[in-house]
Structure 1
């Protein structure tokens, strides 16, 4: 049976626990613990300028993804550094390419870039980006990033930006570029993953509790929904002449509120692996850094060791 990896969201989003989690010492300890426990990747979210209305309705802050991943990368040697997800239209694609190339080079090829279109109109407005064109911008920016990360001089013309013989050097360690995952559950996201990505990064709406209207995506509540989505992905691959499916990196499969039951989770992960999933995320919380790290170590001993 194929290998499956376990990823963990990094706990830097709760500003109410800043003394516990938003310090250099916290980053050092958390990175070290995750790597020792056997996690494959640590991931960070992306909300540079969320609205108060969304935050008050249950949203969350997010620290700058490349700053946090750089700090984690500095205290680890094998843990992969994953954006999860980066809202691609928020930033000029060549700025993203430079950040990815730098981080991948400095950390000896450990970056995974998971991207999506995002869904917060108020955040788009604050950043001066046209929300109505988010899908076209995402496709264009993916093409631009791929060109910019070639390690060679490149040319690319997009809407509002032009590169005529520009260079981003040194290029990333991973070639032809670091893996790009496309986040989202919709058919459009699946098509984008097939056409422009290396992998697909869906999430279980039954675990995240996401409002499907707000997030503007499709519900995936479990194995049956995921199986249907993968079947659609196969159809798209056949249509585009792609011989292999994009890698499937599934978001959190465990609610933080679930009672501790590692055997149940091992069985659950095994079923997703049978569907072709190559990596899953496990969500967990801690009121203190010590509690969070103890839980991470417990995952390593009682869950990750089983794979």
Structure 2
């Protein structure tokens, strides 16, 4: 089992955030990123929204990063840990820009970048940015194919519905081959089919843990899946967040569980097919207390699940 680091105040979800996190600064996050890198966490991920309609602020909060900018900063502050998104909203940026941002990040971080793409769920955000919410699935398919073409071809050519290019040069390409890892976020059948064709990992958001094996079987049954290794990320807090960031109660995923309880639940996740998880931030009072807890997870929990 690999461990993702739960960076405080990446977002301000009512379902998971504690009051002390509102005091966390960029300098604090830098210190924690360096700690996570040093003590053995495997991944930091950056959620993304570009603009938040006020009607959604109560559950979702106003505080959201631009995913690739945040990823680049964390990559520059660290040396070993993988840097992911959770999620990058694929239809809301032109795929050539996305391909360039991620290839740059992978090249400059010596091959530590990865990306989790999602189709997006917040229609008002699409409307504000002038993107057709109802065509987002078709855009995702087109954009993914275009991005992979740019990352892998010596002479990239693409003629899709939403993007076209030929007679172009694209460099640098990703350090990782054939390209940096792509994961897909979400659970609709279209998302899982997209994962089978393009991805090497899946990050569910509304799936119950016990339903994960069936979803993995569905992915691997698709014609686009070629038997490649496939990761599944499922954090403890996932089952406490509902559609539209609604607050859900799941006592099995509460913060501050004992070591045996955490090990037992992570062991169960592993049996379901999960390869990476994160332990929720407990009821601490400060950034220093959380840093101590994060180190305890690596020293006391991770060795029992290798």
| Corresponding residue SS for 1:82 | strand
Query: TM-score w.r.t. structure 1 length?
Result: 0.84
| Aligned residues of 1:151 and 1:169 also touching (Cα < 8 A) | no
Residue 221 of structure 1 corresponds to 208
Question: Displacement of 1:87 after TM fit?
Answer: 0.7
Q: Which segments of 5 or more consecutive residues in structure 1 lack a partner in the other structure?
A: 206-219
- Equivalence map 1:197-236=2 (5 Å): 197-203=199-205, 205=206, 220-223=207-210, 225-236=211-222
After superposing the two structures, state which structure 1 stretch, 241-250 or 291-300, moved more: 241-250
Whether 1:304 aligns to 2:290 is no
Trace 1:1-307 onto structure 2 (pairs within 5 A).
Answer: 4-14=1-11, 20-23=23-26, 25-59=27-61, 61-150=63-152, 152-203=154-205, 205=206, 220-223=207-210, 225-236=211-222, 240=223, 242-244=225-227, 247-254=230-237, 257-284=254-281, 287-306=285-304, 307=306
1:273–1:127 distance in 2 versus 1, CA, 3 Å: same
- For residues 234 and 158 of structure 1, the distance between their equivalents in structure 2, rounded to whole angstroms, comes to 26
Distance 1:275 1:147 in 2: 33
Number of residue pairs matched by the alignment: 284
What secondary structure is seen at the aligned counterpart in 2 of 1:71? helix
- Counterpart of 2:135 in 1: which secondary structure? helix
Q: Under a length normalisation based on structure 2, what TM-score does the superposition of the two structures give?
A: 0.84
Give the deviation of 1:259 after TM superposition.
2.9
Q: 1:18 to 1:264 in 2, by over 3 A?
A: closer
Q: Which contiguous aligned blocks of 4+ residues in structure 1 show a shift greater than 6 angstroms?
A: 15-19
Contact preservation (8 Å) 2:184, 2:202: yes
Write out per-residue CA displacement over residues 245-283 of structure 1, whole angstroms, 9 at most, x where no aligned residue.
661322312467433312222122222222332212333
Task: Extract unaligned runs of 5+ from structure 2.
Answer: 13-18, 241-252
In the TM superposition, what is the alpha-carbon distance from 1:189 to its structure 2 partner?
A: 1.4
Cα displacement (A) at 1:59:
4.3
Partner of 1:213: none
**What is the DSSP-based 3-state SS (H/G/I as helix, E as strand, rest coil) of the residue aligned with 1:154?**
coil
**What's the Cα RMSD here?**
2.3
Give the direction of change, closer, same or farther, for the CA distance of 1:303–1:132 in structure 2 (3 Å limit): same
